[in-house]
Structure 1
Amino acid sequence: MPCVTKTHEQTGAEIPRARWRLIGPGLVVAATGVGAGDLVATAVAGERFGYTLVWAAVLGCLIKISLAEATGRWHLATGRTIFDGWRTLGRWTVVYFGIYIVVWGFVYGATAMSASGLPLAALFPEGPSLRTWGILTGLLGLVCVWFNRYAVVEKLMMVFVGAMFVVVVGIAVRVSPDLPALGAGLWPTLPDGSTLYTLSLVGGVGGTITLAAYGYWVTAKGWTGPRWIPMMRLDNRVAYATTGLFVVAMLVIGAELLHAADIALAGGDRGLLDVGDVLEARFGAATAKLFLIGFFAASFSSVIGVWHGVSLLFTDFVARLWPRALPAEAAGAEGAEGGADPGRERARERSWPFRAYLLWLTFPPMGLLWLDQPIGLIVTYGVLGAFFMPFLALTLLWMLNTDRVAGEWRNGPVSNVMLAGSGVLFVVLCVQQIRDLPW
């Protein structure tokens, strides 16, 4: 349905003092990034090491705050998209990104549909097969994004964030966490044999390519120009603080339910079904079903977020290389105060490149569901994600330390340390992912 409400930039009004009411894009990117794989990773961390790696989960959230903040700051301070910025670094970035987004979308589409179908198949064991549930969730995600604009997508994501948070945090409280041990876990320590696993936990919490979509969601919200940077930072920090609580709650569930009972989870997203079984044995079927609802909310929110956000990224890719591919209102000039025009972003949600990528995410990947190899899909998706994160971190480090950005909005020491450190971390994880492949 068309959105006719004018943004604060378009009306020239002051940014409201009650800024918390405007929070939205950060929760969208955080909810999109935290999927079933992150739930499994944190539950396994609790199962294997108790509360020892709480600090790693928190550090992972801080890294994602830095990456999302840098992405949003680039969009608002320069009035240019992140893909515009990549193009200034050379033709190699265009080739890399173009190949990556096509291959990644094909694999991720199947992975996301499979992950969203798992809890539904468990909730309705007499119903359709896992494959059918996966296809239905993919089609539902397509419909939700095809017929709605960002404002509606954001509201849907808020519902899923609420469900994820209430269910998982509520269960964590119910299992009675060991608060002294939880506090002690904030001190960085590395148990024997945990180094590579800890690196994966730090690097894996909260998103891959979807972090690059944050600036597009900021623009779609109507935030344009440098004066919205403080609002963007608040939005980003609140979102990832919420994510941090959510992730720590999942680690508590792993520590209290699995570590003490010496129960090992199955690989991949199916490990969450094991958590549901343990919850049912300890608290009854109702609690297990609530957990599966939270599992579905985490998985399906990633479907909607990726279907929308990465489609915007692909649309920008097409717009910069073939401007005539978009209608005039979708390929228009820059907006007020040097920011991208939110009306242009809304037009792009109706453009053929946006919808073509939506279809690419939905229909070709369905063929992979017939392979009945959900774990293989997860491994392949993990490897592809590992190839993007070093690219994102190191290119942001490059762009935000040059005259491409006004001096007052360039990186400070903390941002440089976080981006450089995360870039090195993601390179190490990428090499490890390749080494762990079953050649």
Structure 2
Amino acid sequence: MFKWTKNIGPGTLVAAAFIGPGTVTMCTKAGVQFGYSLLWAMLLSIIATIVLQEMAARTGIITQKGLAEVIKGQITSPLLRNLAIFLILGAIVIGNAAYEAGNISGAALGMQVFGEANAMLYPILIGVIAFIVLFIGNYKVLERSLVTLVLLMSISFIITAILTKPDIMAILKGTFVPTIPKDNFLIIIGLIGTTVVPYNLFLHASLVKEKWKTKEDLVIARKDTFISIILGGIVSMAIIVAATATTGGDITNAFDLAKGLEPLYGEYAKYLLGLGLFAAGITSAITAPLAAAYVAKSCFGWKGTLKDNRFRVVWAIILILGVVFSSMKFNPVEVITFAQVANGLLLPIVAIFLVWIVNKSNVLGKYKNTLFQNILAICIILITIVLGIKGIVSVF
């Protein structure tokens, strides 16, 4: 355990990235509308995240390159290469600008449980905190800041779930016996899209090469990935469990969930959830601009560290856009929900790129995918495609 805590890092940052306001919102909706019955979808999401993030981390350590850079290097046709870069940049950089508004709005929402008088200033304050952490440009500072926030968030949501005194047998049934209630395909896609985040695959590949430099470090990187994502999944499940305990009212996010729990469990539930939502929002508010900057760096082949001015310009633009749109009082819940469903629909495309790369001997050599890993990856891609098609059909 001591060795793991010493080597903790990229996996926890990935967990920090996927447990944002989007996860809180989707898990809350799932719990309120369907009780424990969609816990299986979260379990599926956790397995899919572990499989795909391990591939991304393995690619980053073995090649010592970003994922976009590796993909770009393997496409020989200039036209197809430019098209791939355009798709990646469009999906990750532009998409993250939209997610950032929801991240900052979510963190601000969490702060409102401590007082709504300064609600207008909260997005700016969160933006300043995120700016300072990113501008320092020190990987260890960034890592430790996010690990602390993730622990705070995890404790808050898990304690809240325990306080609801859940039905253990119903939880086990919902986790291991898949059921698909009528007209909930978009919720299932959203749960997958908020956990298996496409930009996390690029972020993870870039972060592992910042921390580890040799092939022997792959064992440590895998442990970091598995433990962090499993813990992150438990937190997501805890949000669904807590939301299941609420009855009535228009509950669409953690702030509404806190109000729903207050009559049953007292005022402290509100503060626990407020802290959890704040931590979830600010961790994602830091990792989303960071991921966008890493993708731009990888696509354009920039050299340099986190302190490179071009790198800073990219994350600063994403962060500023997030603060501006958050301050304009758009409805973050609707934006977040749409973003997570879009994430779920985009996932198969990014996953296909990744699986193609990890099967190339000239890229990974003896570390390329095994048959079992390919079977798992193909199953995940097929499931996300089927759910995506069903979700689109259900909309129309």
Query: What residue in structure 2 maps to residue 340 of structure 1?
Result: none
Query: What residue in structure 2 maps to residue 420 of structure 1?
Result: 378
**Does the alignment pair 1:357 with 2:346?**
no
Between the aligned partners of 1:172 and 1:383, the Cα distance in structure 2 is 25
Q: Which amino acid aligns with 1:96?
A: L
Query: What residue in structure 2 maps to residue 307 of structure 1?
Result: 289
Q: Which amino acid aligns with 2:60?
A: H
Between the aligned partners of 1:108 and 1:300, the Cα distance in structure 2 is 12
Q: Which amino acid aligns with 1:50?
A: G
Shift of 1:68: 0.7
Q: Please give the secondary structure, in 2, of the residue aligned with 1:53.
A: helix
Query: What residue in structure 1 maps to residue 260 of structure 2?
Result: 278
Check whether the contact 2:8–2:224 (CA below 8 A) recurs between aligned residues: yes
After superposition, the C-alpha distances for 1:50-74 in whole angstroms (9 at most, x for unaligned) are 2222222111111111111000111
Between the aligned partners of 1:308 and 1:172, the Cα distance in structure 2 is 31
Q: Write the mapping of 1:28-427 to structure 2, written as runs, cut at 5 A.
A: 28-87=13-72, 88-89=74-75, 90-91=80-81, 92-129=83-120, 132-193=121-182, 196=185, 197-221=187-211, 223-255=212-244, 257-258=245-246, 261=247, 263=248, 265-267=250-252, 271-318=253-300, 320=301, 331=303, 347-369=304-326, 370=328, 372-382=330-340, 384-386=342-344, 388-427=346-385
The 3 A distance-change label for structure 1 pair 288 and 182 is same
After superposition, the C-alpha distances for 1:144-174 in whole angstroms (9 at most, x for unaligned) are 1112411111101111111111111112112
Shift of 1:298: 1.0
Between the aligned partners of 1:382 and 1:432, the Cα distance in structure 2 is 16
After superposition, the C-alpha distances for 1:314-369 in whole angstroms (9 at most, x for unaligned) are 22223x2xx5xxxxxxx3xxxxxxxxxxxxxxx42111221111221122344433
After superposition, the C-alpha distances for 1:166-215 in whole angstroms (9 at most, x for unaligned) are 11111211221211222222323214316513343234325331232002
Structure number with the bigger relative contact order (C-alpha 8 A, sep ≥ 6) is 2
Check whether the contact 1:111–1:377 (CA below 8 A) recurs between aligned residues: yes
The structure with the larger Rg is 1
Q: Which runs of 5+ in 2 are unaligned?
A: none
Shift of 1:29: 0.7
Check whether the contact 2:355–2:377 (CA below 8 A) recurs between aligned residues: yes
Between the aligned partners of 1:120 and 1:411, the Cα distance in structure 2 is 44
The 3 A distance-change label for structure 1 pair 48 and 437 is closer
Check whether the contact 1:141–1:307 (CA below 8 A) recurs between aligned residues: no
Shift of 1:137: 1.1
The 3 A distance-change label for structure 1 pair 59 and 115 is same
Between the aligned partners of 2:208 and 2:155, the Cα distance in structure 1 is 26
After superposition, the C-alpha distances for 1:216-249 in whole angstroms (9 at most, x for unaligned) are 111122x123211111111100001111211221
Q: Which runs of 5+ in 1 are unaligned?
A: 1-15, 324-330, 332-346
Query: What residue in structure 1 maps to residue 9 of structure 2?
Result: 24
The 3 A distance-change label for structure 1 pair 373 and 179 is closer
Check whether the contact 2:199–2:291 (CA below 8 A) recurs between aligned residues: no
The 3 A distance-change label for structure 1 pair 294 and 206 is farther
The 3 A distance-change label for structure 1 pair 54 and 380 is closer
Aligned length: 388
The TM-score, its normalising length taken from structure 2, stands at: 0.89
Between the aligned partners of 2:342 and 2:29, the Cα distance in structure 1 is 22
Between the aligned partners of 1:45 and 1:356, the Cα distance in structure 2 is 37
After superposition, the C-alpha distances for 1:297-317 in whole angstroms (9 at most, x for unaligned) are 111111112232332222222
Calculate percent identity across the aligned residue pairs.
21
Q: Which amino acid aligns with 2:96?
A: G
The 3 A distance-change label for structure 1 pair 437 and 46 is closer
Between the aligned partners of 2:154 and 2:70, the Cα distance in structure 1 is 35
Report the structure, 1 or 2, having the larger helix content.
2
Check whether the contact 1:160–1:297 (CA below 8 A) recurs between aligned residues: yes
The TM-score, its normalising length taken from structure 1, stands at: 0.81
